[in-house]
Structure formats: structure tokens, C-alpha cells
A and B are shown apart, each in its own frame.
Chain A
């Protein structure tokens, strides 16, 4: 498991939509949720993807360029420090509150 390569969050830019579709057909790319290709400038299409470090370079080809945005595995490991330890709701009386602000109505006409 420790031998698993880190995953890079990259932006893939293709010359046009068809080049991008061809790339997506040929490579089993992890493109996250259902991110869209964003267009421009010109006919260029870009999409974000998650690829093992060793694969990032191999994606670049005629009509396709790859920019690394971040090391997603490393970022994720840092975020793991932001996950609760223990159980903040272990006490059955501990009521979860959301992030909305409670508004007191000012009464009729208020």
C-alpha cells in the first residue's frame, strides 16, 4: 500500500472537443465527479483529472497539454488532520447545530 503512487490533480487542455473525447476514450482517466470541459480560448477544451504521478507526463501528446495543479494525495493527507477525533456527539444530549443563522421574526408587520 505504501508503494501506491501519489495522485496528482491536473488540468488537461486539448486543442478541441474531439481531441479531448478521443483522449477520454483511450485513457481510463479519473475525472473526478462529473466535471465538464470548459471551453476556450478558441476551440480549446480543458478538463481536470486525477492521475498517478507516473502517468501525468504520458498524457501529454499532440494537441494535449497537462498542467499539475496540486499533489492531491499530499493535500488529502494534510486534510486528514482536519477530521474529528473521537466523537463530539458521544454525549446523547449534544445536539448538532448547522451553519445557518436563526432569524427571529419581528412579528406581524415587523
Chain B
């Protein structure tokens, strides 16, 4: 059972929705990829659409991080099959009861968008294995590395890094269309792949948790990614231009990104739940920590998702995460299977505990 090609990822979602019509709904994303590939997500849950708080998971954003798609497709397949057959679920040394699985799909919606960047994945799986970006030829000369945008730098969060960050911060983003990895595009949401994710967040306003599945480093990262977290000064935040030019330096107190204490506690709590659920499978020790470490990032999905309700208080609060699974982008399939079990168990644990972070 090797890696899924791009057609297989999509067909798997279609077939899941056919096999479990009472629990799984196919979602058409509004925009095809740059190369014209239509995209699907699925919504899992026993209730009508929009009637429950929602966990949203996306994957396949970075082309070369192949296993992210399989993680999400097989996680969905496990939940659906277990719920349908009134079974519990076991992954190595970790197990969940049939009642836990049922409660999960009764009380939550889980929206999964496993392949955000189909063109990039196809290119990585058939031509250049280390490809990361999408395949948009519009901004460079359309050849070699001068193709593509890093989808996870294309969200609207401190997009203008030169203004927002300190010159010394070393923010990991590029304005050069020929940067092989980090070109952020001509403007926020310039890419259809990024706009599809934004559309999903808008279409499921009860999304309270968001997880973007990446590789690698065996981490469960919580916000923020632009600087260290702080919960004491609400005015020190990404919307406040007073702090332009000072963000992103590690270890200083000139700027740290504000996160309310209660959100910070919840972010950490669920990141640790994920880590613990995962570790019980076969002992892999992931680290639950802030996305900001050696250097800052900007334009990423997690900061955008959590930032939405600061920009527009009418929007719901979304606790946002990035998983970095594994220790290489394309492990041998045998090892990838182990990683899929690890991460699936962590995700079930996350979903089981997620409702505890919402005020009753």
C-alpha cells in the first residue's frame, strides 16, 4: 500500500463520502488549482452541517511533505469506519473506546482538506522530489525555481515582512519569485490554493480548532510564529503599527505577540494532549511548543487562522496549530505507516479533548 498519488487522494475522499453518507459529506472547494485540478474536502459528523463546533484539518500544502495527505485521509477513514461499525480504535499502545469515537462525531464536525496543493504534490511525486511551492508560473520567468508560491507564506498575516519585522529578525520568507522555497507571492491570498483554505474557514464559522499538517521535526506547534508569546500587554499585537520594525527578534522584550492567557493555556493543553496521545502508540516523543523558535515566520496558516478574530471580532476564535511529523519529508512507506498511526492517535486525543476548551 504505497503513497497516494493526487488522483487517489481525491478519489479516496469521494469514495468515503459514498460509503458513509450519514457521516461524511463531500465539499467542493470553489477554486481549481493553477493547473486546473478541482479540490475536495470532507465534513465528518452525525449532525447537520454547521450545527456543531468544528475541528478543521488541512494538509498537502507543501508539495514534498507527502505523508500529510495520507495522515488525513486515513484518519478520516478510521473515524468513519469505527463509528459506522460501533467499534473503538487502537493504534499500537493507544486506544479509544467506541463511545469516545461516537461522542466525537456526535458532538463535533471535523472538516478535512487533505490536499491543498495538488499541482505541487504531483510535481514532487513525478519530477522534482524536493519541490515545496505550488506551480504558478506567473511571477518569475516561469522556469526552474522561478515557478510557484509558498502557500504557507501567502496568508494575510504580517504579509509585508520588511515593514513588520526588525531587520535583524531573519524572518523566513522571500519576496523573490525565484526563491526555491519561500516566495510569498505578489499579495496575500494571491493563490487559489490559499483562497480555498480561507473559503473553508468562512464557510464553517463554527471552526474553533485548526490544524495544518506539515513535516518535519516531530513537533506540535501552537501560535504565534512571528515572535514569542506574551499575555500581559494587549496593545503589543500584530495589528499595531507602532511596533513595525521591531518584531521577530528572539530573546528580546521589545516585542512579543499578545495572546490572552486563557487562549494560551488552551493552546498548550491541547498540544500536549496531542503529544501524549501520539507517544502512547510506540513511544515517539513529539514536542509541544510555540511556532516561534530560532526565527520568525509570517503569512502562515496558523497565525492567520488565530488572528482572524482579532482582525474581525465578529469572527469566531480559532485555536490554531501546525503539526510537523516525522524526521524526513519522504520516509520509506513502511515507516510512513507508523507515522500515520502515531499522528492519527494524537489527532483523536486532540479531538476528544477539544470541546473542553470551549466555555459551556
CB of A33 within 8 Å of the partner chain: yes
Of B45-53, B70-78, B261-269, B305-313, the stretch lying at the interface with chain A is: B70-78
Interface of B is mostly: mixed
| Contact size range, B | 35 or more
Q: Which of B1-34 contact A (CB under 8 A)?
A: 2-5, 7-8, 11-12, 14-16, 18-19
Total residue contacts A-B, CB cutoff 8 A: 182
Contact residues of A: prevailing secondary structure: loop
| Total number of A residues with any Cβ neighbor in B under 8 Å | 49
Instruction: Flag the segment in B155-163, B194-202, B216-224, B231-239 that touches A.
Output: B216-224
B98: chain A residues at CB < 8 Å are 103, 105
Q: Could you tell me the distance between the alpha carbons of A84 and B5 in the complex, rounded to whole angstroms?
A: 6
Q: Which chain B residues in 211-255 approach chain A with CB under 8 Å?
A: 214-217, 219, 221, 225, 250
Give bound CA distance, A9 to B128, whole Å: 15
User: In the complex, what residues of A have CB within 8 A of residue B216's CB?
Assistant: 32-33, 35
Contact of A100 among B19, B127, B341 (CB under 8 A): B341
Out of A76, A102, A103, name the residue touching B130 (CB < 8 Å): A76
Let me know if B15 and A89 touch, CB within 8 A. Answer: yes
A contact residues vs B (CB 8 Å cutoff) = 1, 4, 7, 9, 17, 20-21, 24-25, 28, 30-37, 47, 50, 72-73, 75-77, 79-80, 82-85, 87-90, 92-105
> 6 tightest CB-CB pairs across the interface, nearest first?
A76-B129, A98-B78, A103-B88, A98-B74, A89-B11, A100-B78
Additional A-B contact list (16), CB under 8 Å, known A20-B294, A102-B88: A28-B174, A34-B293, A72-B129, A76-B130, A79-B129, A83-B126, A85-B5, A87-B5, A88-B8, A89-B15, A92-B15, A94-B15, A96-B77, A97-B78, A105-B88, A105-B98
